[in-house]
Every structure is written in C-alpha cells, then in structure tokens.
Amino acid sequence: MSVNEAIQELINHALSAGLIEKEDQIYARNQILALLELEEFPEAIEADLQNEVHELLDFLTSYAAGKGLIEDLFDEKEILSSKIMSCFVARPSVINQAFYQKYQDSPETATRYFYQLSQNSQYIQMHRIRKNIEYKAPTEYGDLDITINLSKPEKDPKAIAREKAAPKKSGYPKCLLCIENEGYEGRIGHPARSSHRMIRVYLQGQNWYLQYSPYIYYNEHCIVLCEQHTDMKISPDTFSRLLSFVKQFPHYFLGSNADLPIVGGSILSHDHYQGGHYEFAMAKAEDDWTFTMKNYPDIHCSVVKWPMSVIRLRSKNPDELTEASADILAEWRGYSDPTAGILAESEGNPHNTITPIARFSNGHFEMDLVLRNNRTSEEHPLGIFHPHADVHHIKKENIGLIEVMGLAVLPARLREELEEVRKFVLDEENDIKAYHQPWAESIKKIYENQLSSETAEGIIRTEVGRKFLRVLEDAGVYKRNEEGKLAFKRFIQQFA
C-alpha cells in the first residue's frame, strides 16, 4: 500500500461513515497532504475498504515518522492521527446544530448520532476498547459486570523521559476535562484532542458540555462537564442538574462521583458527571425495605437490596426529589454514629458524603443516594469503607461511581496474573504472584472435584466476581446484617 492509497482509502471510509460528503473529498485530501508535507496526488487512485481506519492511521503516522516529520513516539503519532481525523470532522457549531436537529426526532436519535460520530472520528478508539476482557458474574444481587481494562496503551519509556525533561507545563488546558480540550492538538503527556467535539447542554441556568469517554466501559458512556474549572462538589445543585439532564435525555442515567478523597474515585478538580445508555445491576436491584420521609409523604422511599448503602427516592416531581435529596445530604454530612463506625468529621476533616445517581424509569424520576464515608484507621489506612487488604490483589483502587453501580474496572495486570492462577489451580508449571497464592489455594480446595482445563477459567472468573462483591461490601457504610440494618434505620429516623 502506498501513502496515497492509504489517504484515499481513509477518505473513502469518511465518505462511507457520513463524516464528509462527496464535495468535501478534495478539501479533506489537501488538508491531509499538508499534514504529511506531500505536494502531489495522482489522479487515478482507487482504494477499496480493505483496512480498518486505525490501521490506515498507523500506516500514515509510521510514514511520517519514517520521513522525520514526527518523532517515532506514541504521543506524537496520536497527535498526528487526531489531526488527520479532524480533517473529516465538522466544527463544533455544525455538530451541535445537527445534534439538536436530530433531538427533534428523539433524544435517542441525537445521542446515537453523536456516539457514532465520536467512534467514526476515532475519538473513541473501539479497536483498543475491544481488547478489554468483559464478562458478567452472577451474585445474589444480580449479575455484576467485570472488566479488565486493556484499552489504555502503556506509555512509551522514551515519551516518559521526554515528558519529565520538558519545560514546566503551561497549564492549558488546566485538566483533561476542561472545555479547552475541544480541538486541542495535544502534547507529550496530554492526549491529542484535535478531532474531539462536545455538545452544549443547558442545566439549571448553566452551560455544561456532553462528551463521551474516550475509553468507554459501557454503552454510550458519557461525561457531562462543567464549563468552569471548579472543584467537584455534591450539593443541592448537583441533584437538580442530574434530574434536569435525565429529563432532557430520559434514556440515560447520570451520576456523580463523591466529592471527598478516597471515596471520590475520579478527578476532583473539575466538576463533572458520568452517565450513559446502560442499565447496571444496581438499577435493577429491588427494594429491601421502605420508609416515608415526614416532609415528603408523596415520595416513595426505600433502602435498596445492594451490598453498598443505597437510599432510593422515586417521584414524578423532580423539584420535590431535589429537595428531599438535599435534606438527606445535609443530614448525612453532619451525622455520627460511633457504634457503627460513622463519624461526620475528625480534626476538622469531613468524612460523610454521597454518590448520587439519577434516572427516569417507568414514568418516575429516581434518585439513588449512596452513603459514603472516607475515614481511615491503623487497621485500614487506605479507608475503613474501602476495599480491605485481603482483596487488594484483585482491586485496590478507589470505588467510584462506576464500581458503585456494579461494574468492576480491574487493572490490566490481571490478564497475565489470572492466567498464572489458572495454571496453579491445575497444578501446571506457573509463575503465580505471592499475593494471589492464598486465594488460589482456596479455589483449589473449594473446587477440587470440578477443576479441569475446560472449567478452570470460568471458575476463576466467578471467584473474581465474588472478590468484587467483597469490594462493594467493604465500601458499604452499613453492613447487610442485623446490626447494620438497625444502624441504617437509626440514620433514617433523622428524617423519616
């Protein structure tokens, strides 16, 4: 394949995907020729769609590196790839206009258009995401989603060294979520965003921006971010915005990570939410028991049957739901119950906050309020209500919004490590990590009559699911036993 054939095939892909029209071909070609410092293009070039877009981009960026146009570094190739794809992507104003024209048909039509655009532009790189290992693990709470994250490529050691040696960063954009990332070229250590576009969304009198996560973990995994670079804060305005969004996009849920370290699980320096068109196990979970809030008798209130501590409010009135959620948040912020290990603060540091999730379901607005506490202790220095040491070999990272709802995002190291566990339980030669060995021994004991080359992988996946369930149980402030239920009821009596 020649460089000109690669360019033409890429143009043909853009035509096929509807990124450009036939009238745009020469313009797009000339933009790419300029990026590659090419001055000619033969008239009679034909190219069938034999290669995937990412393969063509790899070919063109390798060509550029070979010609000395860029350095042969992952980040520089990403920057050039994004610039090339930006030749096919319309300006933000055009895309927003198209989005809201499609919104007149239905919100689903609009988001489907933007989601497909984000994939066709290679902003969402599906060829990398397909590398993830994904499966469901059955539990008493429903099927938990398990993902071993293999989609984020490892940093090139040369790029790491260059990043360290680079002059002090300008601070533009201030973070990965700032609106200034839209169309930003990128640099070593900051991702390329030339082909990145955002949808303007109006929430409670403010401009917010809808984009998709470049490394999606579920269908239409979106991020809704604040126009201003302001710290994440759970407040009554949070509940109001979440409900405003799902009113505009009733097929999506939208939630926020908590706003304190340890339980935050995400970037706390820029206020943002995550949502999407997906139903997690927590959303399907049934009511465990119900209660009535004295100031809001028309709201259906329940504690959800879930390993973490979740209050679910249902109402047709989003304003009333906002007020009720705000009352529970205010009560929880200042609530202490030392017998249950709950302290609102210590040495002036607040500990209590909430992970909220909003959705529209069966004609009602729903707000799930997941109670969080970020206390630490000598026994649990990473967090009392955080994965405990005996599950760190599987999951040690913070439990954020996505995990709360029942999707485990597990580290890439587990792909190789679990293969060694499989060999170990089958008594094959292996290089198992010491921190997996006690767990692997227990698997051999439990399944001693069931283990075989055909069953081992499935058994290990099931046991990983059980470990993730343990992670969620550790993160629950009220345990699902009689003592925990009584303590939960003591809190609810504050407003019931």
Average confidence (pLDDT) over 346-372: 96
Domain residue limits at 186: 153-214+217-385+478-492
**pLDDT range class, residue 43, cuts 50, 70, 90:** confident
Token digits of residue 158: 């040369």
Overall average pLDDT of the 390-411 stretch: 94
Amino acid 154: pLDDT: 62
The conformational region for residue 310 under phi > 0 = left, psi -120 to 50 = alpha, else beta, is beta
Q: Would you state the pLDDT for residue 47?
A: 75
pLDDT digits (tens, 9 = 90+) for 236-294: 999 999 999 999 999 999 999 999 999 986 788 999 999 999 999 999 999 999 999 99
Q: Looking at the domain assignment, is residue 108 inside a domain? A: no
- pTM exceeds 0.85 for this model: yes
Question: What's the pLDDT score for residue 201?
Answer: 97
Mean pLDDT of 117-121: 96
69 occurs within a structural domain: yes
Region 411-421: mean pLDDT is 96
pLDDT tens, residue by residue, 345-354:
999 999 999 9
- Give the pLDDT score at 186: 93
For the chain, how many structural domains are there in total?
A: 2
- Whether 173 and 80 map to the same domain: the answer is no
Q: What is the pLDDT of residue 249?
A: 98
Asked if 75 and 162 sit in the same domain, the reply is no
Instruction: Examine residue 419 and state whether it is found in any structural domain, yes or no.
Output: no
Q: Residue 312 above 90 pLDDT?
A: yes
Has residue 45 got a pLDDT over 80?
no
Residue 1: what pLDDT?
A: 83
| Cα torsion angle, 417, 418, 419, 425, sign | positive
Looking at the fold, whether 237 and 341 belong to one and the same domain comes out as: yes
Nearest to 333 by CA among 318, 321, 349: 349
- How much is the pLDDT for 198? 98
Mark whether 194 and 45 lie in a shared domain.
Answer: no
Q: Note whether 158 and 299 are same-domain residues.
A: yes
- pLDDT at residue 397 greater than cutoff 70: yes
241 Cβ neighbours under 8 A, 6+ residues apart: 203, 204, 206, 208, 273
Decide if 289 is inside a domain: yes
What is the distance between the alpha carbons of residues 324 and 319, in angstroms, rounded to a whole number? 9
Span 324-340, average pLDDT: 97
Q: Among candidates 465, 413, 454, 460, which has minimal Cα distance to 440?
A: 460
Is 128 within the bounds of a domain? no
Same domain? For 53 and 191 the reply is no
Phi-psi region of 427 (alpha: psi -120 to 50; beta: other; left: phi over 0): left
Residue 131 is assigned to a structural domain of this protein: no
Greatest alpha-carbon pair distance for the chain in Å reads 80
276, 281, 284, 287 alpha-carbon torsion, rounded to 10°: -130
Final residue of a structural domain among 47, 71, 88: 88
pLDDT at 159: 60
pLDDT at 46: 77
Residue 141 lies in a domain: no
End position of a domain, from candidates 88, 105, 132: 88
What's the pLDDT score for residue 49? 83
Average pLDDT over residues 65-78: 94
If asked whether residues 73 and 168 sit together in one domain, one would say no
Residue 488 pLDDT exceeds 90: yes
150-173 pLDDT, tens digit each? 987 665 666 656 666 666 666 899
- Domain boundary (62, 88, 114) is at 88
pLDDT for res 151: 86
The predicted-structure confidence for 381-393, as pLDDT tens digits, reads as follows 999 999 999 999 9
Q: Is 234 contained in some domain? A: yes
Among 173, 266, 193, 180, smallest CA distance to 223 is for: 266
Q: In whole numbers, what is the pLDDT of the chain averaged over residues?
A: 94
- How far apart CA 137 and CA 55 sit, in angstroms, is 34
Per-residue pLDDT for 485 more than 80? yes
